[in-house]
């Protein structure tokens, strides 16, 4: 298997964007091409979840290839729910690793604010079990609320812990010019003050407004390349060192222990084994905090902390940028935003910035190994990947 490197990264601001979906993908891609010093690639993999349903556009990859004048290069769209981005990276990785292609553009994009928030919520809910969940009206916030309640009862997580994740990530986002939310928040303002409950109402009890990521438009892109192309580019050598992926039962209620996210655990184990590293070797991580509880649980399942102890590490400040195991320095989905198809690509955009030492005020000093966890469905299709700076 050939080694695969990331030699270019690009991103749009995550916000409400008033230009077409294919141009969101193209804008991020132009940044990545420029960063890599390339004007052409052999193959495109485009990650997106909702184009046909919410933007009336199918075969998005063909449109992106055309918009960027990258024809006649082959192009494919990958849709894997919220894990679409990391899935696209995996497909791009295999394209280079196999020797089929030497350079691959991986672009993720979503334009969700074209529809109203009810339609966006319904659209995201289409990833649930069609006969056991969706038809009964369950939404992702509803799933997350039930999951959060179980976790609180089993492991002693409190509303305060959830709020601490939100405060940390939304304040990290203040250091990221491309983040969606640029509004500093505090425990005082969203939990402890008389106005807090007005500022931060229930969405689905025990989940409050500030426990949920925003609905964002945005795009992110990476250039993957063979070792030969990477060396010739002169860009920092950031290698995709491990990729793991696992599925779980589609319906959450069918799991033996619903508070175990087995797909996260298995995907992480595979990624570490492939990379030949251990959780303690990871210097910086981007975890999929679509809801605040998920950062806590994923930080346990990927092996950073013992099961049920993630909220303790959080309390101690270990997951802050200056802490022992910095998580979501970019702001995460909570602060940076969650344009679904772009998210998994944007996580790796941040890891590459960190490993290059280019993350400015939010830099994790001396980061050499990074990890990203892109969480699909409600934990039914998860990809964990690791990245290693060489030289």
How far is it, in rounded angstroms, from Cα 343 to Cα 48?
A: 10
CB of 294 to its own copies, least distance (A): 17
- Contact between 179 and 216 under an 8 Å Cβ cutoff? The reply is no
3 state DSSP class of 107: strand
Q: How many residues bind its own copies (CB under 8 A)?
A: 68
CB of 86 to its own copies, least distance (A): 10
CB of 259 to its own copies, least distance (A): 17
Q: Quick check: 20 binds its own copies (CB under 8 A)?
A: yes
- What would the two tokens of residue 122 be? 């319904």
The interaxial angle of helices 292-301 and 262-275, nearest 10 deg, is 50
- Contact between 20 and 27 under an 8 Å Cβ cutoff? The reply is no
How far is it, in rounded angstroms, from Cα 383 to Cα 391?
A: 26
Q: Which region, judged by CB under 8 A, interacts with its own copies, from 32-40, 105-113, 241-249, 318-326?
A: 241-249
What's the DSSP call for residue 189?
A: I
How far is it, in rounded angstroms, from Cα 191 to Cα 65?
A: 47
CB of 364 to its own copies, least distance (A): 29
- When the beta carbons of 111 and 389 are compared against its own copies, the nearer one is 111
How far is it, in rounded angstroms, from Cα 335 to Cα 299?
A: 18
Q: How many CB atoms lie within 10 A of CB 274?
A: 16
How far is it, in rounded angstroms, from Cα 341 to Cα 127?
A: 13
How far is it, in rounded angstroms, from Cα 123 to Cα 249?
A: 20
Q: Which region, judged by CB under 8 A, interacts with its own copies, from 166-174, 259-267, 285-293, 357-365?
A: 259-267
Q: Which region, judged by CB under 8 A, interacts with its own copies, from 32-40, 76-84, 153-161, 213-221?
A: 76-84
CB of 3 to its own copies, least distance (A): 11
Q: Quick check: 273 binds its own copies (CB under 8 A)?
A: no
Element (H, E) at 247: strand 238-247
Q: Which region, judged by CB under 8 A, interacts with its own copies, from 96-104, 156-164, 187-195, 299-307?
A: 96-104
- When the beta carbons of 152 and 250 are compared against its own copies, the nearer one is 250
CA-closest candidate to residue 89, choices 270, 348, 351, 267: 348
Please identify which residue in 98, 116, 158, 183 interacts with its own copies, judged by CB under 8 A.
Answer: 98
Q: Which region, judged by CB under 8 A, interacts with its own copies, from 25-33, 140-148, 350-358, 378-386?
A: 378-386
Residues shown for the chain: 391
Please identify which residue in 61, 140, 224, 285 interacts with its own copies, judged by CB under 8 A.
Answer: 61
- When the beta carbons of 130 and 317 are compared against its own copies, the nearer one is 130
Q: Which residues bind its own copies (CB under 8 A)?
A: 1-2, 20, 22, 43, 49-50, 52-53, 55-63, 65-67, 70-81, 83, 87, 90-91, 93-95, 97-100, 123-124, 126-127, 129-131, 134, 243, 245-251, 262-263, 266, 376-377, 380-381, 383
């Amino acid at each position: 298997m050939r080694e695969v490197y990331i030699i270019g990264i690009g991103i749009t601001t995550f916000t409400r964007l008033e230009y077409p979906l294919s141009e969101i993908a193209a804008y991020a891609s132009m940044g990545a091409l420029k960063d890599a010093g390339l004007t052409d690639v052999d193959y495109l993999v485009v990650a997106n979840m909702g184009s046909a349903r919410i933007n009336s556009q199918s075969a998005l990859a063909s449109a992106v290839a055309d918009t960027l004048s990258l024809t006649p290069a082959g192009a494919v769209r990958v849709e894997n729910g919220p894990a679409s981005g990391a899935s696209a990276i995996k497909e791009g990785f295999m394209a280079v690793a196999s020797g089929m292609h030497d350079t691959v553009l991986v672009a993720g994009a979503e334009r969700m604010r074209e529809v109203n928030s009810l339609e966006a919520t319904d659209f995201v809910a289409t990833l649930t079990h069609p006969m056991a969940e969706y038809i009964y009206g369950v939404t992702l916030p509803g799933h997350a609320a039930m999951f959060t309640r179980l976790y609180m009862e089993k492991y002693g997580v409190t509303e305060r812990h959830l709020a601490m994740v939100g405060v940390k990530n939304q304040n990290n986002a203040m250091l990221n010019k491309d983040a969606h939310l640029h509004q500093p928040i505090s425990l005082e303002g969203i939990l402890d003050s008389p106005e807090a409950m007005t500022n931060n109402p229930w969405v689905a009890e025990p989940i409050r407004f500030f426990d949920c990521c925003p609905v964002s438009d945005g795009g992110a892109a990476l250039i993957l390349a063979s070792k030969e192309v990477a060396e010739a580019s002169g860009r920092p050598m950031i290698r995709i060192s491990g990729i793991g992926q696992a599925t779980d039962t589609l319906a959450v209620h069918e799991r033996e222990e619903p508070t175990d996210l087995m797909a996260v655990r298995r995907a992480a184990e595979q990624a570490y084994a492939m990379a030949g590293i251990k959780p303690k070797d990871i210097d910086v991580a981007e975890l999929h905090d679509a809801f605040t509880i998920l950062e806590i649980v994923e930080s346990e399942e990927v092996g950073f902390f013992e099961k049920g102890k993630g909220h303790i590490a959080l309390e101690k400040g270990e997951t802050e940028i200056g802490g022992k195991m910095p998580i979501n320095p970019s702001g995460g989905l909570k602060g940076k935003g969650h344009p679904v198809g772009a998210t998994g690509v944007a996580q790796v955009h941040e890891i590459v910035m960190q490993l290059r030492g280019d993350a400015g005020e939010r830099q994790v000093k001396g980061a050499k190994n990074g990890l990203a966890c892109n969480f699909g469905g409600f934990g039914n299709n998860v990809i964990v990947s690791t990245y290693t700076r060489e030289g």
